[in-house]
Copies of this chain bind each other. A is one copy, B any other.
Amino acid sequence: MSTHVRRAPAKKALPHPDLREIPVHLVLRALGEPLRLGIVRSLARAGRPMNCSSFGLSVSKSTSTYHFKVLRESGVISQFEEGTSRYSELRETELEQRFPGLLTAILAAEEPAAAE
């Protein structure tokens, strides 16, 4: 017999790595891809969790799932489910603690006029 408790449309957490165990080259590699860097830029601009589908990425759904997974597994973002959709959020504070100044410097970088 199962419980009567009805789950609230709760934030269900997903497994996230401990940032202390992430070597810096993994983070660099994760951000060394234009699409993923764009996602991170959007998240930083927004300053709050964003629905995966609200990025307007010009790739298929499965491709964006893949990139979000890479970002999550390298400790850059965290994700949680709420209702029917999944939200992503920059792990800004933790990143700043683990790699001081790194994210700031990357986000501050301007793209060249003709970005390759």
A15 close to B (CB within 8 Å):
no
A31 touches B25 (CB 8 A): yes
With A20-B112, A109-B99 already in contact, the answer to whether A29 and B26 are too (CB < 8 A) is no
Q: Which segment of A42-50, A56-64, A78-86, A100-108 sits at the interface?
A: A100-108
Partner of A34, one of B25, B32, B37: B25
| Identical copies in the complex | 2
A114 close to B (CB within 8 Å):
yes
A116 touches B23 (CB 8 A): yes
* Shortest Cβ gap from A82 to chain B (Å): 30
Partner of A29, one of B20, B22, B29, B98: B29
* Shortest Cβ gap from A109 to chain B (Å): 4
B26 touches A28 (CB 8 A): no
A32 touches B22 (CB 8 A): no
8 tightest Cβ-Cβ pairs between the two chains A and B? A29-B32, A28-B32, A24-B109, A101-B105, A102-B105, A32-B32, A23-B115, A28-B28
